[in-house]
Amino acid sequence: MSDHETGNRPSRRAFLGGAAAAGALTAGGARAQTPDPLITEIQPWAQGFGDGVDAVRYGLPIEYEGDVIRRNVEWLTADTISSINFTPIHALEGTITPQGCAFERHHSGAIDLRKEDYRLMINGLVDRPLVFNYADLERFPRENHVYFCECAANTGMEWAGAQLNGAQFTHGMIHNMEYTGVPLRILLEEAGLDTAGDLADKWVFVEGADASSNGRSIPMEKALDDVLVAFKANGEALRKEHGYPVRLVVPGWEGNMWVKWIRRIEVMDGPVESREETSKYTDTLEDGTSRKWTWAMDAKSVVTSPSPQAPVTHGTGPLVISGLAWSGRGAITRVDVSKDGGMSWETARLARPGERMALSRFYLDTHWDGSEMLLQSRAMDDTGYVQPTKAQLRAVRGLNSIYHNNCIQTWLLRANGEAENVEVS
Amino acid sequence: APAMADKLGLGRAALPEEIAAWDGDVRPDGTGLPVGSGDAIIGEEIFATQCAACHGDFAEGIGNWPKLAGGMDTLYHDDPLKTVGSYWPYLSTAFDYIKRSMPYGNAGTLSDDETYAILAYILYSNDLIDDDFVLSNETFLDVEMPNADGFIVDDRAETEYAQWRGEPCMENCKPEPVSVTMRAMVLDVTPQEEAQAPAEETNVAETAAQAEPEVVAA
């Protein structure tokens, strides 16, 4: 292996370490030449004590997993307050995102809002404008659902070409959690919607308690369907940076609409056309016109391993290709994987049947002969939609849409096991 | 309308003062605008003290901070410049956003008149009004936003979904052998966490890619 190969740190250390051992590991079932001291000698952990149960009251991952952290990309934004960071999806498995490394996107920073100080107002075209405190919300009937939250800008830096080298950076503006909360429908009914009359042309405007407010307009049909006012995620309270104590969960729709620290819901007879649905989160096409209200996140997938931050360190032989697929318009029904840049495809295995508007894990258990591969994955959802190539997307939209890039991703896996973000013909 | 559930009697009535304090949104037709006024001459002074440190003396933007003026007729260019003047469809959005969320780090501190004046200065910087134009709740809709007709409602159902549905190709899907056309390592803009040797020279065909800092710009 060449010393001047570049891979994305911090995986390089692991890569180098793994490569050194590759000769021994490649053969898989080969006989050991000398006894392994990790087996033949008593190790300290097998002799003495570990930590007591009182050592850590709320634990963090073991230090050896120090790689599995959020990362930000400084040049993307003017500062770190109205900015983004990225979930380390290259290192995760299954579908549930650990909250502590689940991505953040703020417009005026992650605010500190106590339950005691929390208020939620419902006003506008309702029979009775209401104010709830946090305790009120916990007295409404609850539901639990797993949904992905994907930033509209996820993969947005890749419109013009292959730019960032790692699945964390190209696809990591996403997390997937089990939410507990109250259907927005129930809260609206508590305020009463008779005043609103025909609900077909009504909207709700939702905004947060932070300085940016992040106000967005949502059509009433969606508000009454599956939107949740959530106060727990993955079993515990929301993290501060994810909207503590209460956020909106808008299944399948762009993450910007998942208003955090939600403080007000107004029933209206039209959209507000706020800053976050005019200046931002509108998608400019090649002719200069722009789409607005592009709410749903379309079917998408990515191979998380191997990937630039997760190189192959074990040499040839059995190789697990692992990845994520999701669709904002339904459930993933199938994922195909290509090793030759889309010339031919094999259907991968879904770890579990796809769930609506939630991440699905797929696997292709394969045998790697050590030759270069151009790895791709292609998701399909239960509407029959097939994840497009970047060329297909560009043909419709041009290069300036910024948001909603759900193209097929290609990783070039080299003979030495390192991977790179590339585009292919 | 769906059947309404029985009410649980939770929460309490919102008081008018409370609604007034939090409900500040302004609609494209001017609904929600407070009474007030300001012009670009007053606005220039306020802008200089409250806004120019980030957005520039002429609303042209400093560094990575948003540009509020300029970019007319660039939306179909390779690198469109989207500003209040060139891109924003409604003036209401600017009032609503400035009043509620600006200045960045000290939001919600501008009076209604100050907001009108700042907005007048931004419009003036975009050559959309003369310096004697008084922007107020009454003249608000007289301002023509150049890109007011520049938006269409999401049309993916018509332009995309139909053609990307169905059984996809599984074998011999491309006419030519697949080749690499662009590589992220050439651009080399990914954050690195320890020192490393420079990228290897390659002879792979490369297309110049531009880092796109506006993806999530504030």
Query: Is residue B133 within 8 angstroms of chain A, CB to CB?
Result: no
Q: How far apart are CA A86 and CA A98, in angstroms?
A: 13
Helices (H) and strands (E) in chain B, counts: 7, 5
> Considering CB atoms only, which of A270, A282, A386 is closest to B151?
A282
Query: What is the pairing mode between strands A119-124 and A262-268?
Result: parallel
Q: How far is CA A158 from CA A2, A193, B196, in A?
A: 28, 43, 24
> Considering CB atoms only, which of B12, B176, B185 is closest to A130?
B12
For A193, which residue in chain B has the nearest alpha carbon? B4
Chain B CB contacts of A189 below 8 Å: 4-5, 7
Partner B, chain A 398-417, Cβ-Cβ below 8 Å: 399-400, 402, 412
Q: How far apart are CA B131 and CA B110, in angstroms?
A: 21
Q: Give me the pLDDT at residue A78, please.
A: 87
CB contact under 8 A, B218 and A107: yes
Beta-carbon neighbour count of residue B20 at 10 Å?
Answer: 9
The burial class, CB within 10 Å (0-12 / 13-18 / 19+), for A16 is middle
What DSSP state is assigned to residue B177? -
Q: Report how far Cα A307 is from the mean position of its chain's Cα atoms.
A: 16
Q: How far apart are CA B204 and CA B201, in angstroms?
A: 9
Q: How far is B93 from chain A (nearest CA, A)?
A: 5
Please give the order of strands across the beta sheet that includes B180-183.
Answer: A346-347, A332-338, A373-381, A410-413, A419-424, B180-183
Chain A CB contacts of B161 below 8 Å: 383, 385
Beta-carbon neighbour count of residue A14 at 10 Å?
Answer: 15
Q: Give me the pLDDT at residue A31, please.
A: 78
The burial class, CB within 10 Å (0-12 / 13-18 / 19+), for A7 is buried
Q: Which of A124, A125, A274 is nearest to A214 (CA)?
A: A274
DSSP H or E segment with residue A232: strand A228-233
What DSSP state is assigned to residue B157? I
CB A252 within 8 A of CB A296: yes
Beta-carbon neighbour count of residue A72 at 10 Å?
Answer: 16
Query: Is residue B215 within 8 angstroms of chain A, CB to CB?
Result: yes
Chain B CB contacts of A105 below 8 Å: 216
For A155, which residue in chain B has the nearest alpha carbon? B215
Query: Is residue A212 within 8 angstroms of chain B, CB to CB?
Result: yes
Give pTM, 2 decimals.
0.92
For A133, which residue in chain B has the nearest alpha carbon? B11
Query: Is residue B62 within 8 angstroms of chain A, CB to CB?
Result: no
Q: Give me the pLDDT at residue A32, please.
A: 82
Q: Give me the pLDDT at residue A135, please.
A: 98
Partner B, chain A 296-315, Cβ-Cβ below 8 Å: 296, 298, 308
Mean pLDDT of chain B, nearest integer: 89
Chain A CB contacts of B80 below 8 Å: 284, 288, 400
> Considering CB atoms only, which of B79, B178, B194 is closest to A341?
B178
For A119, which residue in chain B has the nearest alpha carbon? B11
Q: What is chain A's Cα-based Rg?
A: 24
Q: How far apart are CA B38 and CA A382, in angstroms?
A: 54
Place of tokens 């299944």: A251
CB contact under 8 A, A342 and B88: no
What ipTM, to 2 d.p.?
0.91
Q: Give me the pLDDT at residue B160, please.
A: 98
Q: Give me the pLDDT at residue B205, please.
A: 35
Whether the pLDDT of residue B108 is over 50: the answer is: yes
For A394, which residue in chain B has the nearest alpha carbon? B160
User: Which parts of chain A have pLDDT scores under 50?
Assistant: 1-27
> Considering CB atoms only, which of A79, A139, A386 is closest to B164?
A386
CB contact under 8 A, B218 and A79: yes
Q: Is A407 helix (H, G, I), strand (E, B) or coil?
A: coil
pLDDT tens digit sequence for A127-148? 999 999 999 999 999 999 999 9
Q: How far apart are CA A391 and CA A163, in angstroms?
A: 16
More confident residue, B194 or B19: B19
Whether the pLDDT of residue B204 is over 50: the answer is: no
Query: Is residue B210 within 8 angstroms of chain A, CB to CB?
Result: yes
pLDDT tens digit sequence for B121-140? 999 999 999 999 999 999 99
Q: How far apart are CA A412 and CA B25, in angstroms?
A: 49
CB contact under 8 A, A78 and B200: no
Chain A CB contacts of B82 below 8 Å: 279, 284
Q: Give me the pLDDT at residue A1, please.
A: 35
Chain A CB contacts of B206 below 8 Å: none
pLDDT tens digit sequence for A148-184? 999 999 999 999 999 999 999 999 999 999 999 999 9
3-state helix vs strand vs coil in chain B, percent to 5: 30, 5, 65
CB contact under 8 A, A211 and B218: no
Q: How far is CA A169 from CA A252, A422, B188, in A?
A: 21, 14, 13
**Could you tell me the pLDDT band of residue B4, with boundaries at 50, 70 and 90?**
low
DSSP H or E segment with residue B82: none
Q: Is A64 helix (H, G, I), strand (E, B) or coil?
A: helix
pLDDT tens digit sequence for B47-85? 999 999 999 999 999 999 999 999 999 999 989 999 999
CB contact under 8 A, A424 and B179: yes
